[in-house]
Structure 1
Amino acid sequence: MSDLDKEIAALVKACAEGHRLSQERLYKLFYADMLRTCIRYVKTDDLAREALNTAFLKVFQHLHTYEAFKGTLEAWMRTIMIRTCIDLNRKECKFEAATLADDFSHEQAFVAPEILDKLYAQDLIGLIRHLPYATQLVFNLSVIDGYSHKEIADRLEIGEATSRWHLSEGKKQLRKLLLSNTESDIHYHTENKGEKK
């Protein structure tokens, strides 16, 4: 067991007993990773911070139920963060029934590697935030966090076909956004080079 693992185990015990300084330390230890998770699931940074704080409150209220043998504390907390984000934005979720064929697995969202090389993680998060919220939610759960369509369907109370449709739609829309973003970027740099001459 690493020193960090030992510290986390001690913090979990102390936090479950209500020790404020331990709660503060645990919050600071996981703040950045958990905020990144929330940012992926909500439309604005302000909402992400609201979701983060609400989720951390739930973490501290339910820390006594955490069982280390079932998985890491980080994974347990991330699940709470995701669920809190979903709850926070549930009214924005408008899941359309899938009208297309049930199997979308044949479709791949091809984006040239040179396009992805020009983007930073923050750029990708910004583009994902342009997707309709229901599509964004399914895309994040599937592509970023690795949930299966069955798990997504269970969590969001939708059909697996609807989950597949939103993933397919998200890939299509994201590809268009990536391509248009890169084209406008190239156009901008070409114009600027012309002005300098």
Structure 2
Amino acid sequence: MSLFFNQEEKLINGCKANERQAQEGLYKRFHAEMLRLCFRYLKSDELAGEALNAAFLKVFQHIGEFDLKKGELGAWVRTITVRTCIDLGRKEAKFYEIKGYKDTDDIFIIPAVLDKLFAEDMLKLIRVLPEATQLVFNLAVIDGYSHKEIGEQLGISESTSRWHLSEAKKQLRQMLSSAEQSIDKPTENKEAK
């Protein structure tokens, strides 16, 4: 048995025994990663913070059900956090039913633009999307859910899910094109005037 496995098992057992130090250790271990996840899924910082707190509350309430031999703790915490974000996002987002939508639009983004962007920049762009569109984009593109799975989780049709994904791609492409234009523009030298 590895040292990491032993440490994680000790942390889990401490949380099961409701030990404050173990709970704090688990929180510190996953806080930053789960907060980034919440920021990616939810529009406002306040909602992201609310989701993070609700997710950790669920983790601590259900830690007794977790079995380290059946899965990895980080994946379990992440699943709870994603589901919490989906629940909160569903309450905030307004979905309108789109019937029979077929995605035929191929999205092309010039690679030079992507090379100049950082993950943080992409997160900012994703957060500009409308709530429903942002939620579907995250589930489909980043987390790899199918439109059927997204529809089941959000209570929408597959067609509506496809429309929101297409809309997200279209809006992101427009934002990236604007970013490309601002990157390619030469800056004026104020001293030369």
Query: What is the TM-score normalised by the length of structure 1?
Result: 0.89
CA displacement at 1:182 relative to structure 2: 2.3
Deviations 1:20-78 (A, max 9, x none): 10010011111111111111011123332222122111110011122335432212211
**Corresponding residue number in structure 2 for 1:107:** 105
Amino acid at match of 1:195: K
2:114 is matched with 116
Alignment-derived partner of residue 144 in structure 1 = 142
The corresponding residue for 1:181 is 179
Inter-CA distance 27–180: structure 2 relative to 1 (3 Å threshold): same
- Cα deviations by residue, 1:158-197 (Å, 9 ceiling, x for unpaired): 111111111111111111111112212333xx233x3243
Contact 1:38–1:85, Cα closer than 8 Å, also in 2: yes
Aligned residue number for residue 158 of structure 2: 160
1:61-100 superposed matches below 5 A: 61-100=61-100
Q: What's the C-alpha RMSD, in Å, of the aligned pairs? A: 1.8
Q: Is the 8 A contact 2:89 2:135 kept in 1?
A: no
1:45-56 paired onto structure 2 within 5 Å: 45-56=45-56
Gaps of 5+ in 2: none
Which amino acid in structure 1 is aligned with residue 187 of structure 2?
Answer: E
Contact 1:138 1:152 in 2 (8 A): yes
- Preserved CA contact (<8 Å) 1:100 1:165: no
Tell whether the 8 Å contact from 1:150 to 1:160 is kept in structure 2 after alignment.
yes
**Percentage of matched positions with identical amino acids:** 54
Change (3 A) 1:61 1:132: same
Per the normalisation by structure 2, the TM-score is 0.90
